[in-house]
Structure 1
């Protein structure tokens, strides 16, 4: 831990001295500065570089050299993006500010090395998937700088985030039984019950379900309700930033059919809905996730005696689980859930197909 001391010279001038212990020699070391600000900056650099003076010198050279900083490169790149969802752009900015700028933001892009990127990405305390997304922001920004002639090469290209290490502490989906789902629906307040029925029986994402309008609803020849998923609520990170946009993936634009029993249970909550009306509202407006969570989900779980702490999104997981256990082929489940590819479905739910290999073997007899 470095410290700062003030020293008054005989001539009345105050010097500011940074004091730290060298990690290699174990000796206390100091360096004087003319201003307090310069000393504090040096101490911050020491803390960021393990109190190793050689690393601090290299770091400062990179930061104070010529050309744009990494932060400037990223800001310019993000500002030029066209055709990107507002929510996606907001997430990119947030990832850069939280995970890239503190470590690499002040480094001059032309002095950034592959070793810098590898060290940085291996030090991120996030999931491998999130690390991949953060790296994509950096790499695409450097690509833009190369394309515009501001950089010679993209040193982040090809750097891989660390592979996942499963410790047993990772988040696991909660798969609710049919009985548990029935109990949750039974204890849901009436104003939210229609939405709860739909979420539990379709596997729709919350943003898709709450964006449904009367014109998205039809009935097939067997009397089953059919929902056309055409839009979804998006947000940029604040409660007041919600807007209607495209569903999550191209495959998310789909038709989802309810069973006969689910259709019968849902119909009473859809009466009087006009073509441009949302199917589910509160005080004439769509139901934000946080309101449904606080006023319907949490209270229903408690009343139903559910102690496994499921999330609202676990209704989607539970629906997928029920379909697979009923023998519905994986590719049909993938299509119903609107996954971008069947690989996503297999990765998420493949472990539920425990009898597939035995079934395949029996077909050969």
Structure 2
């Protein structure tokens, strides 16, 4: 418990020092605060005791209670973030719902530490670079349940999730800078050092050799499911793009047969009418693309669309409707993979790994990454490089040979005096 110790001075004056151990435990740090009169010391002692042997909230040593800084038009960061998300245009309802969830679960815990070391709920105006750094570290670490150390109040976030949330926070803070009237003059997220994505295993990509894929395909007993798997690994299309293809998207009689990727299945917001999925645009602007088809893929497509109308799906489940990912995975893909594993397959690929496998086959054939970016529909070449650049080791020999050839030719020497 906190107690008062009188401190007499040579001039006859007496000061009163409130002393306690932080947190009340034996291992806590010794704390003290000095007062000029006993009444003030007694009031402060009672506050320390009421706060469980901690400094009273808002109290600054040597200064007393200090009000947090305020700014005109300032609001809690979560409130401002929700307003920002509500006003976003050009996004789907599902995306808006996801952003609101991020604000509710992660931005609401942002704290601001003032110049005196006191913590306050963060606002759009008071948030600092140090506050953002502290928040990133807290996201990395997570928060364990005080009542049960085996459980989590908030689980540790992986680097990719942290980067995505930080990117959203950056845009929110920037909007306060661009606001009229302006609420901030600088973006406190600009210099944040984020965890490196490659320091952790975020997405365990699996690349199949051709014979490994064939071992799985041989276990898919449903011919319609086998056709879809062959198409996915042969084109590199996303699941939502391939299963949304309609007969009218195919051009099979031209000199350069192709498929037009112009729609994909989207997950609807909770409670939306019409079911859990709907047809919308592809993932990015560059995901709208024409894919050249090989002769094998042309034959496959012709066989599938014979007798169908322009609006019919190219790939159809047993009842004639579009495939659903969960049904395909649980009833077709997973049993085939497990059967192949029992026979010695050393990998357990997901459906999305067929897209990764397609890329690995292209790189093995020395297709350059910019061409792969276009084929996959990546918005940025950086995405392609970050995800698949490490597979280009097959070009090392060519690079070494080119360097050797260049260095092996003596450079012309001019301006030298000839020695006879």
> TM-score, with normalisation over the residues of structure 2?
0.68
Structure 2: state its 5+ residue gaps: 1-21, 32-44, 61-65, 113-120, 141-156, 406-420
- Work out whether 1:241 is the aligned partner of 2:294: no
- Check 1:63–1:329 CA distance in 2 against 1; reply closer, same or farther (3 A cut): same
Match of 1:335 in 2: 374
CA change 1:111–1:272 in 2 (3 A) is same
Question: What is the aligned counterpart of 2:122 among 96, 107, 112?
Answer: 107
Q: 1:200 to 1:166 in 2, by over 3 A?
A: closer
1:141 Cα deviation from its structure 2 partner:
2.0
Query: Is 1:256 aligned to residue 291 of structure 2?
Result: yes
Q: Answer whether contact 2:239 2:352 (CA < 8 A) is retained.
A: yes
Of the three residues 209, 229, 239, the one matched with 1:177 is 209
Query: How do 1:228-307 and structure 2 match up within 5 A?
Result: 228-236=260-268, 240-282=275-317, 283-305=319-341, 306-307=345-346
Q: For the Cα contact (< 8 Å) 2:244–2:264, is it kept in 1?
A: yes
Higher RCO, Cα 8 Å, sep 6+ = 1
Quote how far apart the aligned CAs of 1:185 are. 2.4
Contact 1:216 1:229 in 2 (8 A): yes
Q: Which residue of 1 aligns with 2:147?
A: none
Q: Contact conserved, 1:218 with 1:227, CA < 8 A, in 2?
A: yes
Distance 1:82 1:165, change over 3 A: closer
Q: What's the counterpart of residue 413 of structure 2?
A: none
CA 359–235 in structure 1, closer or farther in 2 if over 3 Å, else same = same
Runs (5+) with no aligned partner, structure 1: 1-18, 34-38, 44-50
**8 Å contact kept, 1:208–1:231:** yes
Aligned partner of 1:141 in structure 2 is 172
* CA drift at 1:302: 1.6
**SS at structure 2 position matched to 1:175:** coil
* Matches of 1:322 and 1:316, distance apart in 2: 10
Q: Name the SS for the 1:174 alignment partner.
A: coil
Work out whether residues 138 and 156 of structure 1, in 8 Å CA contact, stay in contact via their aligned partners in 2. Answer: no
Does the 8 Å contact 1:192/1:296 carry over to 2? yes
Question: Is the 2:136–2:162 contact (alpha carbons within 8 Å) kept by the matching residues of 1?
Answer: yes
Q: Decide whether aligned partners of structure 1 residues 266 and 52 sit closer, same or farther in structure 2, where only a CA change above 3 A counts.
A: farther
1:174–1:263 Cα change, 3 Å = same
- Asked whether the equivalents of residues 284 and 379 of structure 2 are also in contact (C-alpha less than 8 Å), the reply is yes
Superposed counterparts of 1:32-43, under 5 Å: none
- Give yes or no for contact 2:110–2:131 (8 Å, CA) kept in 1: no
Among 318, 325, 343, the alignment partner of 2:364 is 325
The residue that corresponds to 1:92 in the other structure is 99
Q: How many residues align?
A: 331
2:266, 2:277 within 8 Å by CA — same for their partners in 1?
Answer: yes
Larger-Rg structure: 2
- Alignment pair present for 1:69 and 2:65: no
Report the Cα offset of residue 162 of structure 1.
1.8
Distance 1:62 1:133 in 2: 30
Question: Once the 2 structures are TM-superposed, how far is the Cα of residue 182 of structure 1 from its aligned partner?
Answer: 2.0
Q: Secondary structure at the match of 2:393?
A: coil
- Structure 1 residues 215 and 103, CA, compared in 2 at 3 Å: closer, same or farther? same
Contact 1:230 1:253 in 2 (8 A): yes
**Equivalent residue, structure 1, for 2:29:** 25
Q: How far apart are the structure 2 equivalents of 1:204 and 1:217?
A: 14
Contact preservation (8 Å) 1:213, 1:276: yes
3-state SS of the aligned residue for 1:200?
helix
CA distance in 1, matches of 2:57, 2:129: 16
**Structure 1 residues 254 and 65 mapped into 2: Cα distance closer, same or farther (>3 Å)?**
closer
Residue in structure 1 matched with residue 252 of structure 2 by the alignment: 219
Deviation per residue, 1:39-90 (Å, 9 max, x gap) = 9xx89xxxxxxx96477768x9659998411111011111111112333323
TM-score by length of 1: 0.77
CA contact (8 A) 2:82 2:103 kept: no
